[in-house]
Structure 1
């Protein structure tokens, strides 16, 4: 009995020490990616923005978000500065960062073309007949097989790569004005920018994939925050809250 009490005491000390390593405020970089990391008003800053802010607040941690063009956000998260990590990311985008094992949520990557273009993505072979140019955003990870297609030097002339701010909005405008033939983006993001537009059409789904939080591994508390988030993101209560947020944001797009 005495041994059990002593062991429990040391576990408590270890737990307290672990929590103490995580600062009371952390800063994550992101980009404008509605409705996930941004929204239509200050009181609706984005699904993931609200979700992670609430989770961290329950653990006494304040979340600060800074928005940049995506390629710059990735660079800043990798560098040793005041940016501690990324609010949303997939491994292919930032392989040097430390990722949560538990995903934040899923996103669905679709192809879109102009309304009078009848090309449809069905499988990898469809990429051979895909009209060009395909417009992508610098630094984005789209998943297989499109990532392999993008990095193939033979396809370089078939791509139009966007950099800088407001990339998603510009992506949609490029397609609406027929300056590009195909774009790829998450369906909720497209709905945020197109509303009831009839100028573009769905042209197939690439993937329904998870995304994660990621932290600079050089931070002495990065593994502690990742372990904390691994637990919190799997909690049924938090998952229920996430579904409420998704419903709230998507219903406003209808």
Structure 2
């Protein structure tokens, strides 16, 4: 009788789910990829949430201005990391496998389109960027070396308005972000008929979760990477944008 009870107890223990942990990440207002005010908190959040839940855990995302989101993720143990981020070399960060992609290029004024074949063609003009954002390796290196003149602002919306007002000819932006803002942001409604994406993309950029390079970050990166193998992140992104 004791053996039977012990066996039943062992089977019951095996059938119980493991205790769910909560992954705390920071992010920014960057719709349609991440935002407090859009469905599912954005396409990138939907992917990460699906990956976390596939591993039996929960996701909590807190939204801040971008530079603060990065600072908190790197310096506060309450957070394991931040997202969505482009990959770059960093000793204090660990990057997940790709959680999706985004087409990065330039927004331009419709009445003054810019033709270019390499970034060297853009050395004579001012290019808008968002302060704290990673762009492409080549562009960021050329900006750092002062080969390209960059004008930094605090948001994509500000850059769109500057391009619409012909204060700068180009600004770096993700085409999905531009499309969303032109349709949804009343503050840039006046720019809707004045700007468009430049015909040449900079790069189709992979998006990642950036984790702090510590034991907690390593743990959650492993969990996310395993979860990503269990879901179809591309299908989740496609479904989201099709809406």
- Give the superposition deviation at 1:91: 2.7
TM-score by length of 1: 0.76
Q: Does 1:230 align with 2:225?
A: yes
- Give the superposition deviation at 1:154: 5.1
Matches within 5 A, 1:82-231: 82-92=78-88, 95-100=91-96, 102-129=97-124, 131-132=125-126, 134-153=127-146, 155=148, 158-163=149-154, 167-195=155-183, 197-203=192-198, 204-218=200-214, 220-231=215-226
- Specify whether residues 49 and 114 from structure 1 end up closer, same or farther in structure 2 by C-alpha distance, changes over 3 A only: same
- Specify whether residues 238 and 140 from structure 1 end up closer, same or farther in structure 2 by C-alpha distance, changes over 3 A only: closer
- RMSD over aligned Cα atoms: 2.6
**SS at 1:57 equivalent:** helix
Match of 1:251 in 2: none
List alignment gaps of at least 5 residues for structure 1. 1-12, 14-18, 249-254
TM-score by length of 2: 0.79
List alignment gaps of at least 5 residues for structure 2. 1-13, 184-188
> Greater CA radius of gyration, 1 or 2?
2
Matches within 5 A, 1:40-55: 41=38, 43-55=39-51
Query: How many residues matched?
Result: 220
Of 21, 26, 51, 1:29 maps to: 26
- Give the superposition deviation at 1:77: 1.3
User: What is the rounded CA distance, in whole Å, between the counterparts of 1:141 and 1:52 in structure 2?
Assistant: 20
